[in-house]
């Protein structure tokens, strides 16, 4: 019954994979909607019909509920909820983070999760608030790690237990925690205590923390971003290598009359139109939805449908190799998401190592594209280009016939030998009219080429508008036009 994870496609550090526990199997990235047994606003049976393969519910609520406790123990969770997909249960840790204490123990909650037939059980980890003093984060992390060891000792190595990674916003603690969790043999690893970061739009710190956890974790671990359910950040999180999300947002937002879109949330009260292809939005006008006595349920159904559609879009973009374009698009919908995107780009050197070799395309979408993994990889390869004694770099100028070695300036990458012009990313990139950022990036590539070929006499053939620019940037070079 151990938890298995296979990766089928990769893009950046993101993956499309398959998570298997016993006879349950789901495609990842996946969204596990949060189901509250007391308020089943969208019935789990309906979720299955929306393409949802797994859900998460709270074992602590079941264990403390007069209505549900015995029923869950006798009928089992799947039967009780009317859902035969994958069901993960949380332990009560979230209540611990909200209320400060819970009336259960690590062993009790794990045994209860096993006894109600949960597919993935979560120990009683401690989600320390990110703004707590470092000593608190450290001491509570030590307790979490002790509980993970205890879980393994009591329930064995094959029990389908998740290994949460804590450590707050301290990169060193997250990385060490990730490494220890992997060393203990956990293959399903939620990154915990990020809800306050998400709620505060602290995406820069989120990216910093998740990347640190990922560094410590085994690359084969399935990574769950605990409490992340807004579709606007799925692409960013998937690019870091997060495989599982869980959303209560679809229901919580519906209660407050908030309409989720892939790029943000709108207030239904202020909307003139419902700009979404889901069944709810196509069969109601905004006025009809506002007036409906089923408003909350319909809004939750819409919220879940757009959230699920974004998961499909992320999986598709990973298969195509267009995840950077999706990250760029989504992260421009809020300035704080842009902060997160820029933090991700700072880790380009690390991400380049896990990125795939070829992709469908490289679309330039502005300055940030200059820091993409494809540019880093191309520029890393430049020192291997060996030029002969005389070379011409075409920068939009004429091509004299007396050069045996001709390269083309291809911003944002650098100067590209003709034999590479069909290979990825050169043959598959689309850029607009050259801008300063992509020229600067290309010139960095030319620097590397010149440094690797100090004996070569290089001539630049520039378009009239570039002559001055190139002379200034490469004062020793011959420039024709
Ligand atoms: N739900 C949201 N964050 C957390 C977390 O860090 N741990 C657990 N167990 N549940 C969560
Ligand atoms: Zn809709």
Rounded distance from Cα 90 to ligand 1 centre (Å): 7
Average pLDDT over every residue of 370-395: 97
Ligand 1, residues 90, 102, 137, 147: which to mutate, most atoms within 8 A of Cβ? 90
Task: Please tell me if the CB atom of residue 163 comes closer than 6 angstroms to any atom of ligand 1.
Answer: no
What's the rounded Cα separation, in Å, for the pair 132 and 71?
Answer: 39
For residue 122 and ligand 1, the question of a CB distance below 6 A is answered with yes
Say what the pLDDT of residue 269 is: 98
Checking if the pLDDT of 67 tops 90, the result is no
DSSP for 194-214, please give it.
-HHHHHTT-HHHHHHHHHHHH
**Sequence-distant (≥ 6) Cβ neighbours of residue 468 within 8 angstroms:** none
What is the tens place of the pLDDT at every residue in 165-210?
A: 999 999 999 999 999 999 999 999 999 999 999 999 999 999 999 9
The mean per-residue pLDDT over the stretch 260-264 comes to: 96
Q: How confident is the model at residue 22, as a pLDDT?
A: 95
- Residue 90 annotated in active site: yes
pLDDT for 1 beyond 80? no
CA of 387 to the centre of ligand 1 (A): 56
Reported as a single tens digit per residue, the pLDDT across 28-57 is 999 999 999 888 899 999 999 999 999 999
The residue ranking higher by pLDDT, 476 or 370, is: 370
Query: From residue 353, how far is each of 178, 291, 347, 380 by CA, in Å?
Result: 19, 53, 11, 11
| pLDDT score, position 40 | 87
196 lines ligand 1 (CB under 6 A): no
Task: Give the pLDDT mean for 89-116.
Answer: 94
Strands 457-462 and 478-480: parallel
Structure confidence by residue, pLDDT tens digits, 317-338: 999 999 999 999 999 999 999 9
Distance between CA atoms of 461 and 242, rounded to whole angstroms? 46
Q: Which of 11, 67, 84, 90 is catalytic?
A: 90
Q: What is the mean pLDDT of residues 153-174?
A: 98
Q: Are 296 and 280 in contact (CB under 8 A)?
A: no
Residue in 60, 53, 48, 62 with CA at minimum distance from that of residue 86: 53
Ligand located closest to 289 CA: 2
- Compute CA 207 distance to the chain's CA centroid, rounded to the nearest angstrom: 9
Mean pLDDT of 427-445: 96
Rounded average pLDDT over 223-246: 97
pLDDT in the model for residue 208: 98
CA dist 135 → 128, 146, 250, 375 (Å) = 11, 17, 35, 40
Q: What is the pLDDT averaged over residues 249-273? A: 97
pLDDT greater than 70 at residue 379:
yes
Quote the pLDDT of residue 98: 87
Rounded mean pLDDT of the chain?
96
CB 29 near ligand 1, within 6 Å: no
């Amino acid at each position: 019954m151990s938890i298995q994870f296979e990766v089928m496609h990769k893009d950046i550090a993101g993956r499309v994979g398959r998570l298997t526990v016993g006879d349950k199997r789901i495609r990842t990235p996946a969204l596990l909607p949060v189901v509250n047994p007391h308020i089943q606003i969208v019935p789990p049976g309906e979720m299955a019909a929306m393409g949802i393969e797994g859900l998460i519910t709270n074992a602590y609520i079941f264990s403390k509920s007069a209505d549900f406790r015995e029923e869950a123990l006798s009928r089992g969770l799947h039967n009780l909820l009317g859902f035969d997909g994958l069901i993960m249960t949380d332990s009560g840790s979230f209540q611990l983070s909200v209320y400060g204490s819970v009336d259960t123990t690590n062993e009790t909650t794990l045994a209860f999760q096993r006894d109600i037939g949960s597919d993935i059980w979560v120990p009683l980890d401690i989600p320390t608030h990110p703004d707590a003093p470092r000593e608190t984060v450290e001491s509570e992390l030590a307790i979490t790690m002790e509980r993970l060891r205890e879980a393994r000792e009591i329930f064995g190595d094959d029990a389908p237990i998740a290994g949460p990674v804590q450590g707050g916003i301290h990169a060193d603690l997250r990385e060490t925690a990730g490494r220890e969790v992997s060393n203990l043999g956990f293959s399903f690893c939620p990154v915990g205590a990020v809800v306050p970061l998400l709620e505060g739009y602290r995406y820069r710190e989120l990216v910093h923390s998740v990347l640190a956890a990922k560094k410590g974790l085994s690359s084969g671990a399935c990574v769950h971003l605990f409490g992340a359910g807004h579709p606007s950040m799925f692409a960013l999180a998937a690019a870091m290598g997060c495989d599982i999300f869980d959303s209560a947002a679809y229901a919580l937002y519906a209660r407050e009359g908030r309409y989720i879109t892939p790029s943000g949330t709108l207030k239904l009260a202020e909307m003139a139109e419902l700009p979404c292809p889901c069944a709810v939005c196509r069969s109601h006008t905004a006025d009809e939805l506002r007036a409906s006595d089923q408003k909350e349920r319909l809004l939750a159904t819409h919220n879940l449908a757009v959230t699920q559609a974004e998961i499909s879009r992320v999986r598709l973009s990973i298969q195509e190799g267009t995840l950077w374009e999706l990250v760029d698009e989504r992260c421009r919908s809020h300035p704080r998401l842009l902060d997160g995107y820029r933090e991700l780009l700072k880790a380009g050197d690390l991400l380049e190592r896990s990125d795939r070799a070829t992709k469908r395309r490289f679309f330039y979408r502005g300055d940030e594209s200059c820091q993409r993994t494809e540019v880093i990889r191309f520029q890393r390869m430049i020192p291997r280009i060996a030029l002969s004694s005389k070379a011409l770099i075409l920068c939009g100028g004429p091509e004299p016939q007396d050069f045996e070695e001709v390269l083309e300036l291809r911003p944002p990458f650098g100067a590209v030998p003709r034999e590479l012009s069909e290979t990825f990313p050169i043959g598959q990139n689309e850029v607009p009219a050259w801008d300063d950022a992509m020229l600067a990036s290309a010139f960095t590539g030319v620097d590397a080429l010149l440094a690797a070929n100090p004996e070569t006499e290089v001539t630049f053939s520039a378009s009239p508008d570039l002559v001055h620019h190139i002379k200034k940037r490469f004062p020793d070079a011959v420039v024709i036009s």
